[in-house]
Structure 1
Amino acid sequence: MATAVSTRPAPGRLDLQAALRNPLLGPLAALAIAVVVFSVVTDSFLTPRNLSLILQQSVVIGILAVGQTLVILTAGIDLSIGAVAVLGTIVMAKTGGPEGAAIGLVTTVIVCAAVGAVNGTLVTALRLPPFIVTLGTFTVVFAGTQLYAGSATYPVAAGPLTWLGTKFDVAGFTTTYGVVVMLAVYVVAGYVLSQTAAGKHVYAVGGSPEAARLTGIKAGRTLLSVYVMTGLIAAVAAWAALGRIPNADPNAFQNANLETITAVVIGGTSLFGGRGGVAGTLVGTLIVGVLRNGLTQAGVDNLYQNVATGLLVILAVTLDQFARRRNL
């Protein structure tokens, strides 16, 4: 009598295959390789001071990238998020101050959330493409910020509005409260996306809008909440920006929109929506920070740094497209 032979893979092999399919594996490997390479070619890269500097330089883009991740998970894109954050810095500087910091912060939150609500309403109510909507919003907000600021910069005195730039030591490692807030934003966003119904709705709307509708998910409400949340995150980034440089400049962060998209894509979140997460975005943000810092220390011209970053984005999108076709 023949004995039945199991065709199921061994547990160890199954675990290995599951690990290789983890979307975080690629970005983490890229980050590790970059750290090793720059540690070898430069003398000062792998020092506590420089690593702290990379984190501090990544704070604003890192926070904004969380909002960009939420939008991209819904198969959208936000080209206005950087301009909204810059508007937030001007509003905060003009309405706040050492004695009116709370007013400045609250006003900034309201203004940034309102811009997000406008984006969300245009996308949901009028069914306009997010690319077109946020491109238009970017133009309006950028010009409006220039008019509101009178094309002038506004220095911010030390106080609550610059508090996120305050440094402190942890086991000999110097960091800032801005870094702590950035990590907190990632933790909260990660929890919401993975552990709450609202987070599952975001993935459902981005992955298959029709299936989401058939299961009773209100796609319009989900999209509107995502864009409003993105505006709120931009307000936090504006506060962090004043902690980094206590000077509200209407011309600051002009490439923030593209840099956030870069961090999200390199971190493994699909531009087609429904796949990815903020953990990958954090790794993507660090990859960009490490790449720019390491190439600067190696004496590479800024233009070549942009070339390297652009090629990395193209590679990430190509791999995403390949993975998507395999899953179809």
Structure 2
Amino acid sequence: MGPAELLGVTTMSLTAPRRAALSEFVLRTPAVGPAVALVFAVVLFSLTTDTFLDVDNLSLVVQQSLVVGTLALGQTLVILTGGIDLANAAACVLATLLMAKLAVGGTASPVTLLAGVAVAVAVGLTTGGVVTAFRLPPFIVTLGVLTILTAASRIYAGGQSYPVTDGLLGWLGTRQYLFGQIEVTFGMGVALALYLVLWYSLTRTAWGRHVYAVGNDPEAARLSGIHVRRTLLSVYVVAGLVYGVAAWQALGRVPNADPNAFQTGNLDSITAVVLGGTSLFGGRGSVLGTLVGALIVAVLRSGLTQAGIDNLYQDVATGVLVIVAVAVDRLSRRRQR
């Protein structure tokens, strides 16, 4: 059922023109449908479980969505240009290993953190360079980068994980309490700041307009004076920077760098982006929608777990949601033509 249909019951009393206008608004605003779905899921699980609305559980849901939500933020930028990044989680894992291993070797904390972020940025620069220079499909390029990074991480780690005791590397996991009872972490604040910065960049700057234009029609963007290759390269570099921050968040969430971590992180991030209303065909979507999508995934898994639903069925439910989201996207694009 699409977003317009979900609101159908509440719009029955409206006149036909107003219902049509509301339906058009819903279809043209990618974040509306996901927001409705998120509210529906929260209400459903609050009625069917006893502890879902507990403050501690809601805080845990947000914390569990942080790393994937940040990976999804970088993924959104790439998908907005009509591409896809299958190597984002692998870049994050390699960055965590580099930071942890340098810290174990006695390297100063700021240096280890900068080195990890720099590696993720270098991966983004390399990926974007190959995509733009040789005009190769991002799917193929990032699939190859995924394979390379996975092997490189395991070789670099030597088959072992590295516990992190460094204060700076684990700083984002530091817990504080709002009003004496709501548990929050510094990682939440950093993630929120990242979303706000990129939301502003995409909606209030020329760079953001160029990103959407390239995603809508690269040739039309080129003819209008936009440097398509430069824009694409900048998107992959910024996405790499975001993946580096995700690595920092991962060490704050679980102070242990493991080469086998986040094996489905790329797919989870794509799921969050799609559920957030961003079109896989590029040029349509928002980072705020992605934030809602990441929360939908976390709420769904938490609620189904508390309801006693097996993890395999949770994956089935998530997959169905993704298919529905893509179908809604196709429907909205047809109506806009």
- Whether contact under 8 Å (1:69, 1:278) holds in the other structure is yes
1:96, 1:105 within 8 Å by CA — same for their partners in 2? no
**Contact 2:89 2:265 (C-alpha < 8 Å) held by counterparts:** yes
- Answer whether contact 1:92 1:105 (CA < 8 A) is retained: yes
2:51 to 19, 44, 51: 44
How many residues align? The count is: 320
Aligned amino acid, residue 71 of structure 1: V
CA RMSD of aligned residues (A): 1.7
* In 2, Cα distance between equivalents of 1:96 and 1:188: 29
Q: Does 1:134 align with 2:139?
A: no
- The equivalent of 1:5 in structure 2 is none
Shift of 1:13: 7.2
Counterpart position of 1:6: none
**1:98-152 CA-partner distances (Å, limit 9, x unpaired):** 8611111111121111111110011000000000000000000000000001011
Tell me if 1:20 matches 2:31. no
2:240 alignment partner, SS class:
helix
Q: Shift of residue 82 of structure 1? A: 0.4
Q: Does 1:207 align with 2:201?
A: no
1:174-185 counterparts in 2 under 5 A?
174-185=183-194
Superposition TM-score, scaled by structure 2 size? 0.92
Q: Is the 8 A contact 2:96 2:250 kept in 1?
A: yes
Alpha-carbon spacing, 1:10–1:324, altered in 2? closer, same or farther (3 Å): closer
Paired amino acid for 1:103: V
State the shift of 1:230 in Å: 1.0
2:159 and 2:177 map into 1 onto residues whose CA distance is: 37
SS of residue in 2 equivalent to 1:96: helix
Structure 1, 176-185 or 98-107: larger mean CA deviation: 98-107
Whether 2:46 is the aligned partner of 1:35: answer no
Please name the residue that 2:310 is paired with: 301
Q: Given that residues 96 and 102 in structure 1 are in contact (C-alpha distance below 8 angstroms), is that contact kept between their aligned partners in structure 2?
A: no
Query: Which of 223, 236, 251 is residue 227 of structure 1 equivalent to?
Result: 236
Contact 1:96–1:103, Cα closer than 8 Å, also in 2: no
Alpha-carbon shift at residue 20 of structure 1 (Å): 2.9
Q: 2:111 aligns with which of 81, 87, 103?
A: 103
- Give the structure-1-normalised TM-score: 0.94
C-alpha distance in structure 1 between counterparts of 2:334 and 2:73, whole Å? 26
CA distance in 2 between partners of 1:109 and 1:276 (Å): 26
Q: Could you say which residue in structure 2 is the equivalent of 1:4?
A: none
- Distance in structure 1 (CA, Å) of the matches to 2:30 and 2:119: 35
Structure-2 residue corresponding to 1:79: 86
Distance of aligned partners of 1:124 and 1:62 in 2 relative to their CA distance in 1, 3 Å threshold: same
The one-letter amino acid paired with 1:264 is V
Equivalent-residue separation in structure 1 for 2:192 and 2:121 (angstroms): 21
Shift of 1:91: 0.6
Q: Is 1:264–2:270 an aligned residue pair?
A: no
2:121 aligned with 1:113, yes or no?
yes
Q: Give 5+ residue unaligned stretches, structure 2.
A: 1-14
Shift of 1:74: 0.0
Residue identity opposite 1:32 in structure 2 = V
Query: Residues 263 and 285 of structure 1 are in contact (CA less than 8 Å); yes or no, is this contact kept in structure 2?
Result: yes
**Match of 2:69?**
62
Give a deviation string over 1:267-288, Cα, whole Å, max 9, x none.
0000010000101000000000
> Runs of 5+ in structure 1 lacking a partner?
1-8
- Indicate the SS of the match to 1:174: strand
Cα deviation for residue 173 of structure 1 reads 1.1
Listed as ranges, the matches of 1:146-157 within 5 Å are 146-157=154-165
Whether the 8 Å contact between 2:31 and 2:286 is mirrored in structure 1 is no
Tell me the SS of whatever aligns to 2:184.
strand
Q: 1:325 Cα deviation (Å)?
A: 1.8
- Matched residues in 2 for 1:155 and 1:141: separation? 21
Contact 2:75 2:269 in 1 (8 A): yes
8 Å contact from structure 2 (residues 211, 283) kept in 1:
yes
How far has the Cα of 1:15 moved from its partner?
7.1
